């Protein structure tokens, strides 16, 4: 059986009722890849996701990193512009080194990961003056997004206050789409002279489509902790139960276009 290996860099965690039911973020991503796997590959291909908790100083060595097909940086309650984080500069350096010196490794960023990749490769991450974006949002796809996803919009769960305000100019990034709250909802970077994906990022959370109540639980936890007021929480709970395409659409892109696995 062929194995595709992903290095998962843990930069955040689920807590409270969400963690009790669903485990940790790495568990959600393992579920996302399992549920979206192309049927023709299920007897011949497996994805193995190794968890590296970089917050605790657990990093893959350069030699270990070379054994992976992809590097995945997920979401976090931390801010990608918070230089007081003891591990952030090392993370940004790892992203830059992987991008420039290990091009055989695909780079995937979700929410915080999207923001950190943008910052590491010449862009910015800032707090959004428009406030939080939570629950299912309909992303208007750009021409590049339409070409990649094969549709005009993408419905995806959101849970962020920070955002990337503009497309990084130092690398050949293409904008995937936008919402009224966040103008950069995703980025794609292709290898020179081809349409094979090198870097793929999303502001939204495809893994939160794995369970119908994941975002509702997150909202409840954050309201209880005083992060969300009642009005924001109520609005978010209404949006959180809408249909999203994290597994059905984004999962397929991760398999077919990022990992390059479609059929056995």
Q: What is the pLDDT along the chain (264 residues), one digit of tens a residue?
A: 999 999 999 999 998 888 999 999 999 999 999 999 999 999 999 999 999 999 999 999 999 999 999 999 999 999 999 999 999 999 999 999 999 999 999 999 999 999 999 999 999 999 999 999 999 999 999 999 999 999 999 999 999 999 999 999 877 999 999 999 999 999 999 999 999 999 999 999 999 999 989 999 999 999 999 999 999 999 999 999 999 999 999 999 999 999 999 864
CB atoms closer than 10 angstroms to residue 190: 17
Q: What's the sign of the alpha-carbon dihedral 255, 50, 158, 11?
A: negative
What are 57's two structure tokens? 């100083």
| Spatial contact of 244 and 155, defined as CB atoms under 8 Å apart | yes
| Spatial contact of 179 and 185, defined as CB atoms under 8 Å apart | yes
Pairing of strands 162-163, 153-160: unpaired
Per CATH, the number for 2-258 is: 3.40.50.880
Burial class (CB in 10 A: 0-12, 13-18, 19+), 18: buried
- Burial code of 119-151, b = ≥16 C-beta within 10 A, e = fewer? bbbebebeebeeebbbbbbbbebbebbbebbee
- C-alpha 43/C-alpha 41 separation (Å) is 6
The per-residue pLDDT for 135 is 98
The per-residue pLDDT for 263 is 64
């Amino acid at each position: 059986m062929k194995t595709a290996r992903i290095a998962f860099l843990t930069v955040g965690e689920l807590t409270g009722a969400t963690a009790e039911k669903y485990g940790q973020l790495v568990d959600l991503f393992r579920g996302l890849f399992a549920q979206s796997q192309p049927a023709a590959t299920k007897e011949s291909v497996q994805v193995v996701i190794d968890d590296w908790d970089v917050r605790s100083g657990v990093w893959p060595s350069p030699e270990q990193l070379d054994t992976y097909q992809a590097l995945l940086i997920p979401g976090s309650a931390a801010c990608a512009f918070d230089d007081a984080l003891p591990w952030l500069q090392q993370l940004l350096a790892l992203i830059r080194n992987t991008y420039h010196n290990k091009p055989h490794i695909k780079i995937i960023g979700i929410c915080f990961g999207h923001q950190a990749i943008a910052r590491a490769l010449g862009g910015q991450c800032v707090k959004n003056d428009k406030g939080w974006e939570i629950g299912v949002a309909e992303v208007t796809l750009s021409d590049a997004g339409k070409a990649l996803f094969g549709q005009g919009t993408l419905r995806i769960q959101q849970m962020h206050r920070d955002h990337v305000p503009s497309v990084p100019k130092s690398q050949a990034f293409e904008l995937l789409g936008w919402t009224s709250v966040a103008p950069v909802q995703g980025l794609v970077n292709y290898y020179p002279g081809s349409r094979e994906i090198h870097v793929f990022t999303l502001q939204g959370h495809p893994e939160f489509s794995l369970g119908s109540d994941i975002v509702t639980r997150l909202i409840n936890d954050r309201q209880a902790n005083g992060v969300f007021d009642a009005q924001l929480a109520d609005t978010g709970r209404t949006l959180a139960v809408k249909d999203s395409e994290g597994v059905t659409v984004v999962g397929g892109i991760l398999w077919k276009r990022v990992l390059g696995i479609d059929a056995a």
